[in-house]
Structure 1
Amino acid sequence: MKKVLIPLMVAAALIMTVTACGGKSKSTGGSESGGSVVVTPIPYPVNPSPLDSSAKIKRYALDQVIEYRSLPKYSEPDYVTAQVNQGKLPPVNQRLPETPQVIKTSFMADGPGPYGGVFANVFAVPIEGWNFGAGAVNGWFGIEAIVSQCLLSSGPAYLRSDANEPFPALATGWTWSSDGLTLTMDLIKGAKWSDGQPFTADDVMYTWEDNINDPNVAGRSSPGTWAVGGKPTKLEKVNDYQIKWTFAEPFPVYLLWAMADDRFYVAPAHYYKPHHPKYNSNATYSSFRSAGKPTALPVPVLGPWVPTEYRTDELLVFKRNPYYWKVDSDGRQLPYIDEVHFTYATNSLARTMNTMAGTCDLSNVGESYDDVARSAADPNAPFRVDWQGDSHAYGMEFNYDTKFGVSTDQDKANRALFRDIRFRQALTMALDRDGIAASLAAGPFYRAWGGGLLPASPLYTRESVVYLPYNVETAKAILASLGLKTNSEGYLGYPEGPLAGKTIEIQLLAQQDLGNEIDIAQAAIPMFQAIGIKLTMKVLTGTAISETELNGKWDMKSYRYDSPQLVPNAFPAQLSPTDDNMMYNHYKIKTSGDAMPFETELNRITTAFATETDAAKQRQLMAEYNKVWTENATNIGVVTVSYGQLLNKYMKNVQPGLPVNLYSWGHQSMFMEQLYFEPDHQRRLILGTNLPLNYPAAN
Structure 2
Amino acid sequence: MKVLRPGRRARRRTVALAAIACSTALVLAACSSGGSSTQNTGGGGGTGNAKNSSITIFNGSTGTITENFNPFMSGTALQPTLGVIYEPLYYYNLAEKSDPQPLLATGYKWNDKGTELTITTREGVKWSDGQPFTAKDVAFTFNLINKTPALNTTGLAATAKAVDDTHAVLTFKENSFTQEPSVLGNQAIVPEHIWKDIKDPTKDPNVKPVGTGPYQLKSFSAQSYSLEKNPSYWESGKPQIQEIRYIALDSADAASAALTAGQVDWMSSYLPGLDQLLKGHKELSYVNTPALTTSIFTCSSTELGCKGPQTDPAVRQAMYYAMDRTQLNKLAGGGFAGEASPTLLLPDRDKDWIADSANVTAPQTADTAKANALLDAAGWTKGSDGIREKDGQKLSMTIQTVTGWSDYISINDTLKQQFKAVGIDLKPTQLAWNEWNANETQGKYQLSLDSIGLGASSNPYFTYQGKYNSANTAKVGDSAAAGNFARYKNATVDAALEAAGATNDEATQKAEYAKVQTEIIKDMPYVPIYINSTLTEFNNSRATGWPTDDDKYAFAATWKAWDNGIVLKNLTPAK
Give how far 1:289 is off: 3.9
Rounded Cα–Cα distance in structure 2 between residues aligned with 1:400 and 1:212: 35
Deviation at 1:561, TM superposition (A): 4.2
Correspondent of 2:239 among 328, 335, 357: 335
Matched, 1:319 2:228: yes
Structure 2 distance, partners of 1:548, 1:205, is: 40
| Equivalent in 489, 493, 498 of residue 595 of structure 1 | 489
The answer on whether the counterparts of 2:57 and 2:245 sit within 8 Å (CA) in structure 1 is: yes
The DSSP-based 3-state class of the residue aligned with 2:76 is coil
Task: Answer whether contact 1:187 1:201 (CA < 8 A) is retained.
Answer: yes
CA distance in 2, matches of 1:272, 1:402: 48
Which runs of structure 2 are paired with 1:295-444 in the superposition (5 Å)? 297-312=207-222, 314-328=223-237, 334-345=238-249, 354-364=258-268, 368=272, 371-374=273-276, 378=280, 380-386=281-287, 392-399=292-299, 412-414=305-307, 418-440=310-332
Q: Within 5 Å, which residues of 2 pair with 1:209-228?
A: 209-211=143-145, 214-217=148-151, 220-223=153-156
| 2:541 matches 1:640 | no
Aligned counterparts of 1:156 and 1:637: Cα–Cα separation in 2: 20
TM-score (norm 2): 0.69
Structure 2 CA distance for aligned equivalents of residues 120 and 304 of structure 1: 16
Pick closer, same or farther for the CA change 1:479–1:237 going to 2, 3 Å.
farther
3-state secondary structure, aligned to 1:326: coil
Give the CA deviation at 1:427.
Answer: 3.7
SS of corresponding position for 2:84? helix
CA gap 1:628/1:601 in 2 versus in 1, 3 angstroms: farther
CA contact (8 A) 2:298 2:448 kept: yes
Matches within 5 A, 1:458-537: 458-459=351-352, 460=354, 462-464=357-359, 467=362, 470=366, 506=398, 508-510=400-402, 516-524=407-415, 531-537=424-430
Q: Kindly provide the CA deviation profile for residues 76-96 of structure 1, in whole angstroms up to 9, marking residues without a partner as x.
A: xxx9xxxxxxxxxxxxxxxxx
What do residues 91-129 of structure 1 show as CA deviations (whole Å, max 9, x unaligned)?
xxxxxxxxxxxxxxxxxxxxx982332222112256663
Per-residue Cα deviation, 1:49-82 (whole angstroms, up to 9, x for no partner): xxxxxxxxxxxxxxxxxxxxxxxxxxxxxx9xxx
Which residue of 1 is the match for residue 204 of structure 2? Answer: 291
1:677 corresponds to: 573
Check conservation: 1:237, 1:243, Cα contact below 8 A. Answer: yes
| Worse-matched range after superposition: 503-512 or 318-327 | 503-512
Amino acid at match of 2:295: G
Larger Rg over CA atoms:
1
Question: Does the 8 A contact of 2:402 with 2:430 survive in 1?
Answer: yes
Q: 1:660 to 1:641 in 2, by over 3 A?
A: farther
Q: Match for 1:130: what amino acid?
A: F
Q: Percent identity between the aligned chains?
A: 18
Cα RMSD, aligned residues only: 5.1
Match for residue 238 of structure 1?
163
Please state whether the residue corresponding to 1:536 is helix, strand or coil: strand
Which residue does the alignment assign to 1:136?
75
Flag the 1:598–1:523 CA change in 2: closer, same or farther, 3 A.
farther
The CA deviation at 1:319 is: 2.9
Taking the aligned partners of 2:69 and 2:293, their CA distance within structure 1 comes to 30
Contact 2:298–2:310 at 8 Å: present in 1 too?
Answer: yes
Show structure 1 runs of 5+ residues with no match: 3-78, 80-111, 224-231, 278-287, 329-333, 407-411, 681-699
Q: Which amino acid aligns with 2:573?
A: F
What aligned pairs does 1:20-169 form with structure 2 within 5 A after superposition? 114-125=50-61, 129-140=68-79, 144-155=82-93, 165-169=99-103
Which residue is equivalent to 1:88? none
Match of 1:567 in 2: 458
C-alpha distance in structure 2 between counterparts of 1:318 and 1:551, whole Å: 40
Q: What is the SS of the residue equivalent to 1:324?
A: coil
Residue in 2 that maps onto 1:266: 189
Partner Cα distance (1:247, 1:675) in 2: 39
Going from structure 1 to structure 2, the CA distance change for 1:357 and 1:452 (only over 3 Å counts) comes to same
Inter-CA distance 171–446: structure 2 relative to 1 (3 Å threshold): closer
Number of residue equivalences? 513
What SS is found at the alignment partner of 2:493?
helix
Deviation, structure 1 residue 150: 0.6
Match status 1:208 vs 2:142: yes
For 1:611, the equivalent position in structure 2 comes to 504
1:301 CA displacement: 3.2
Whether contact under 8 Å (1:434, 1:447) holds in the other structure is no
Q: Is the 8 A contact 1:453 1:565 kept in 2?
A: no
Q: 2-side partners of 1:350 and 1:462: how far apart?
A: 44
> Does structure 2 retain, via aligned residues, the 8 Å contact 1:456–1:566?
no
Q: How much has 1:244 moved relative to structure 2?
A: 0.9
Whether the aligned pair in 2 keeps the contact of 1:297 and 1:309 (CA below 8 Å) is no
**TM-aligned CA distance change 1:395 to 1:502, over 3 Å:** closer
How far apart, CA to CA, are the structure 2 residues paired with 1:446 and 1:335?
Answer: 33
SS of equivalent to 1:611: coil
CA pair 648-188 structure 1, distance change in 2 beyond 3 A: same
- Tell me the secondary structure at the aligned position of residue 568 of structure 1: coil
Structure 1 residue 272 displacement after superposition = 5.5
| Secondary structure in 1 matching 2:329 | helix
Alignment of 1:443-458 (within 5 A): 445-446=337-338, 450=342, 452-457=344-349, 458=351
Residues 585, 598 of structure 1: CA spacing in aligned structure 2 closer, same or farther, 3 A cutoff? farther
Mark the CA change 1:321 to 1:493 in structure 2 (over 3 Å): closer, same or farther.
farther
Separation of aligned partners in 2, 1:635 and 1:366: 24
The aligned residue for residue 95 of structure 1 is none
Give the C-alpha shift of residue 637 in structure 1. 0.6
Matched residues in 2 for 1:547 and 1:290: separation? 24
User: Is the 1:402–1:594 contact (alpha carbons within 8 Å) kept by the matching residues of 2?
Assistant: no
